[in-house]
Amino acid sequence: MSAWVDFTGLKRAVRLERVLADYGITTLRRNRQDQYRGRCPIHGGEGRDAFHVNLAKQVFHCFACEAGGTVLDLVAALEGCGLREAALRLQRRYGMPLGLRQATPERQRVTEKTKMAPLGFRLRGIDPEHPYLRQRGIEAETAAVFGVGFYAGPGLLSGRVVIPIADEHGELVAYCGRSIDGREPRYRFPAGFAKSRALFNLHRAAALGDPGVVMVEGFFDCLQVHQAGIPSVVALMGAWLSAPQEQLLRQNFREIMLMLDGDQTGRRASAAIAARLAPAVSVRVIALEPGVQPDQLTSAQLRELCQRARRN
């Protein structure tokens, strides 16, 4: 049964100050009545007064990482999940009635197919030959195909390797910036971007017409698999499969090979995702050695793993 969540009611029911306290965010300084400032808990505290909270309006904003929004956006940013999952976690934590009810097919279609707005700009001067990419084993040709490279221009992504993210139609909807010098966050997503509504590289993989696809966790895993000569590959941008992502997979592919990280999180996610997808598509799990990620393997190793999975 699919559930509809009353997001508006939830935001009224769960106060921002309560969530801040429960996450241990207690060092903010009062600036004026109902307004507080301090280090941002989302990106590791860069900027002494970057993180602003307005308890009267029940909103927050960080002027360093540009995160902001309501209590739902805060939980989603802190826990690295989508807004729907953040709502469900709040429900479980506080026992709040969220107005869950069985969704009609029409409501479900409207909810799951909400289109992300295309970006109104493109970053210029991206360098696909930066040494960081070579250190990660990414060839300049591969980086150029994906539009990935070092960005030295103005803005929040300056000094990072930027990764363009497109929706299923190939429309550019966001850039993610990867830190190359230890700065936090390691991956900076734009405020309001919902990872749960996209699969990285889906538009390229679907255009191939291949009934099968390899699914990995991260951007660099995806680049490495593509570079190994397996272009039908998508990335979750995490280790959790959302309902919209599941729908995108089912619409475009009949065979899924899961190649998630070899840690406990990846193994648990592989089992859970395989169980969810199995009724609708053919699923094969490629279990990596403990602690191993796909982007740490050679092209030959990646090809061998995929070929072995197809034979089994």
The closest of 274, 269, 293 to 81, measured between CA atoms, is 269
Asked if residue 122 is part of any domain, the answer here is no
The closest of 149, 196, 204, 197 to 175, measured between CA atoms, is 149
Comparing 121-125, 190-194, 268-272, which segment has the lowest mean pLDDT?
190-194
- For residue 46, pLDDT beyond 60: no
Asked if residue 118 is part of any domain, the answer here is no
- For residue 34, pLDDT beyond 90: no
Q: 100 and 138: one domain?
A: no
Q: 104 and 135: one domain?
A: no
pLDDT in tens, 199-237: 999 999 999 989 999 999 999 999 999 999 999 999 999
Distance between CA atoms of residues 180 and 293, nearest Å: 19
Give me the pLDDT at residue 89, please. Answer: 82
Task: Please report where in the chains the tokens 């939830």 appear, as a residue.
Answer: 10
Asked if residue 117 is part of any domain, the answer here is no
Give me the pLDDT at residue 133, please. Answer: 98
C-alpha distances (whole Å) from 183 to each of 44, 244, 260 are 9, 31, 25
Q: 58 and 98: one domain?
A: yes
* Domain containing residue 164: CATH number: 3.90.980.10
Domain region containing 208: 202-311
In terms of DSSP bridges, do strands 51-54 and 149-151 run parallel, antiparallel, or are they unpaired? unpaired
Asked if residue 126 is part of any domain, the answer here is no
pLDDT band at 146 (very low <50, low <70, confident <90, very high): very high
Give me the pLDDT at residue 101, please. Answer: 40
Q: Which residues, including other chains, have CB under 8 Å from residue 214's CB and lie 6 or more apart?
A: 225, 230, 232, 233, 234, 257, 259, 286, 306
- Select the more confidently predicted residue: 191 or 292: 292
Give me the pLDDT at residue 110, please. Answer: 35
pLDDT in tens, 178-191: 999 998 999 999 88
Q: What is the mean pLDDT of residues 148-154?
A: 96
- Select the more confidently predicted residue: 108 or 16: 16
pLDDT band at 103 (very low <50, low <70, confident <90, very high): very low
Domain count, the chain: 3
Task: Please report where in the chains the tokens 């053919």 appear, as a residue.
Answer: 282
Q: 142 and 103: one domain?
A: no
- Select the more confidently predicted residue: 15 or 81: 15
Q: 27 and 55: one domain?
A: yes
pLDDT in tens, 223-232: 999 999 999 9
Asked if residue 119 is part of any domain, the answer here is no
Q: 7 and 101: one domain?
A: yes
The strands making up 68-69's β-sheet, listed across from edge to edge, are: 29-32, 35-38, 51-54, 59-62, 68-69
Q: What is the mean pLDDT of residues 265-273?
A: 94
Of 50, 81, 112, the one marking the end of a domain is: 112
- For residue 98, pLDDT beyond 70: no
Of 193, 214, 234, the one marking the end of a domain is: 193
Asked if residue 125 is part of any domain, the answer here is no
Q: 214 and 158: one domain?
A: no
Q: What is the mean pLDDT of residues 52-58?
A: 87
- Select the more confidently predicted residue: 67 or 303: 303
Asked if residue 121 is part of any domain, the answer here is no
Q: 99 and 139: one domain?
A: no
* Domain containing residue 228: CATH number: 3.40.1360.10
- For residue 273, pLDDT beyond 90: yes
Of 193, 212, 246, the one marking the end of a domain is: 193
Asked if residue 22 is part of any domain, the answer here is yes
Q: 296 and 242: one domain?
A: yes
